[in-house]
């Protein structure tokens, strides 16, 4: 199938792109890397009358650190995130996660802004933004808005962006030295959309979490920042504490049918894709002290939740 006929405009600046979006309203669509937009058009899931190509707008590119803020332009491609020394140093969670996004051909074209604006609940990068407490910066004719990532994603393929706004960049707080992260996803094959996944960022003091943000993805209509993580903060992680947090997590997460592969039975629940009691596939030494064990413990929760969910169904 081919896309319906459409007009094409190459925006020369953010101001020019916004003028085009305002002039054409809901009939226009922004084009970044095209890795989600073009398939949707070819399948005629959407039929915009005008494509506003922002791919040549230099001001939307780039990764930089200013003080304690890491700034990433909307047009930064997945492959650039993978290769960036700034991302490796200041957002290693993002580097780890982006390696799971699709395959090299898609990572060579797909952009951070496109992934966030597309807001697929099974996507890795939206969950990372929530875990990393990112601020998403959008621009419209009335000026700029700064939106906390946890408020940006509002539903399946829905965000706080209006049709007349552009996602410009994201800002991430540079993590403290005693920070750690954890990323894990269950997928049919490496590069497939996740069946269930977890992106987590933590501050570790001694042998406890001083802060813990766990963002689950592919378990609802948007990334879920787990409230149950609070039960693991400033407390020794005994089996009883883990079990309590895990119970709370099980009540909080309500995975939907897998919308990527609805016809395939084992994908309906993330719980069926992993064996009961799967923590051992995630970590080898769950009680080791220090930052690594902090990361590992998040993994135990995911595995434990998957196992319990499996029994529930």
Site residues (CB under 6 A) for ligand FAD, limited to 105-144: 106, 109-111, 113-115, 117-118, 123-125
Q: Are 94 and 82 a contacting pair, CB within 8 Å?
A: no
The distance of closest approach from Cβ of residue 125 to ligand FAD in the complex, given in angstroms and rounded to an integer, is: 6
Q: Give the range of 7-15, 98-106, 169-177, 276-284 binding ligand FAD by CB under 6 A.
A: 98-106
Site residues (CB under 6 A) for ligand FAD, limited to 182-201: 192-193
**Number of residues in contact with ligand FAD under rule CB under 6 A:** 31
Contacting residue, 63, 91, 102, 300, with ligand FAD by CB under 6 A: 102
- What does the alpha-carbon distance between residue 239 and residue 259 come to, in Å, rounded to a whole number? 34
Question: Residue 167 or residue 302: which is nearer to ligand FAD going by CB?
Answer: 167
Question: Residue 113 or residue 294: which is nearer to ligand FAD going by CB?
Answer: 113
Site residues (CB under 6 A) for ligand FAD, limited to 59-88: 74
CB count in 10 Å sphere of residue 141 = 11
Q: Are 216 and 224 a contacting pair, CB within 8 Å?
A: yes
Q: Give the range of 36-44, 146-154, 201-209, 224-232 binding ligand FAD by CB under 6 A.
A: 36-44
Under the criterion CB under 6 A, does residue 21 sit at the interface with ligand FAD?
Answer: no
269's CB contacts (< 8 A; 6+ apart) are 255, 257, 258, 309, 310, 313
Under the criterion CB under 6 A, does residue 39 sit at the interface with ligand FAD?
Answer: yes
State how far the alpha carbon of 36 is from the alpha carbons of 29, 113, 128, 276, in Å: 12, 12, 19, 34
Question: Residue 112 or residue 306: which is nearer to ligand FAD going by CB?
Answer: 112
DSSP string, 161-213: --TT-EEEEEEEEPPPTTEEEEEEEE-SSTTSPPSEEEEEEEEEETTEEEEEE
- What does the alpha-carbon distance between residue 232 and residue 13 come to, in Å, rounded to a whole number? 46
Contacting residue, 11, 20, 35, 183, with ligand FAD by CB under 6 A: 35
The distance of closest approach from Cβ of residue 248 to ligand FAD in the complex, given in angstroms and rounded to an integer, is: 28
State how far the alpha carbon of 259 is from the alpha carbons of 25, 124, 196, in Å: 29, 15, 12
Site residues (CB under 6 A) for ligand FAD? 29-37, 39, 54, 74, 101-102, 106, 109-111, 113-115, 117-118, 123-125, 161, 166-167, 192-193
């Amino acid at each position: 199938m081919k896309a319906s006929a459409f007009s094409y405009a190459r925006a020369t600046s953010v101001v020019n792109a916004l003028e085009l979006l305002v002039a054409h309203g809901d009939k226009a669509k922004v084009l970044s890397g095209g890795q989600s937009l073009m398939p949707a058009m070819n399948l005629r899931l959407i039929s915009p009358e005008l494509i506003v190509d922002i791919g040549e707008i230099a001001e939307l590119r780039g990764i930089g650190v200013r003080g304690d803020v890491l700034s990433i332009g909307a047009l930064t491609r997945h492959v650039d995130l993978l290769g960036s020394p700034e991302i490796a140093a200041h957002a290693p969670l993002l580097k780890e996660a982006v390696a799971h996004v699709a395959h090299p051909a898609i990572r060579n074209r797909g952009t951070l802004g496109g992934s966030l604006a597309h807001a697929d609940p099974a996507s890795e990068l939206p969950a990372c933004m929530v875990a990393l407490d990112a601020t998403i910066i959008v621009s419209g004719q009335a000026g700029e808005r700064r939106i906390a990532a946890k408020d940006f994603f509002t539903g399946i393929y829905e965000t706080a962006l209006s049709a007349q706004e552009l996602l410009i960049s994201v800002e991430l707080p540079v993590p403290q030295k005693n920070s750690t992260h954890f990323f894990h996803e269950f997928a049919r094959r490496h590069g497939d959309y996740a069946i269930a996944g977890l992106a987590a960022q933590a501050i570790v003091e001694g042998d406890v979490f001083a802060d813990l943000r766990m963002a689950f993805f592919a378990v609802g209509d948007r990334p879920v920042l787990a409230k149950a993580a609070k039960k693991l903060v400033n407390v020794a992680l005994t089996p009883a504490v883990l079990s309590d947090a895990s119970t709370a997590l099980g009540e909080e997460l309500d995975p939907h049918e897998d919308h990527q592969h609805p016809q395939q039975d084992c994908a309906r629940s993330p719980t069926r894709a992993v064996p009961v009691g799967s923590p051992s596939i995630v970590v080898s030494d769950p009680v080791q002290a220090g930052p690594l064990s902090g990361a590992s413990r998040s993994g135990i929760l995911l595995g434990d939740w998957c196992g319990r969910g499996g029994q529930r169904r």
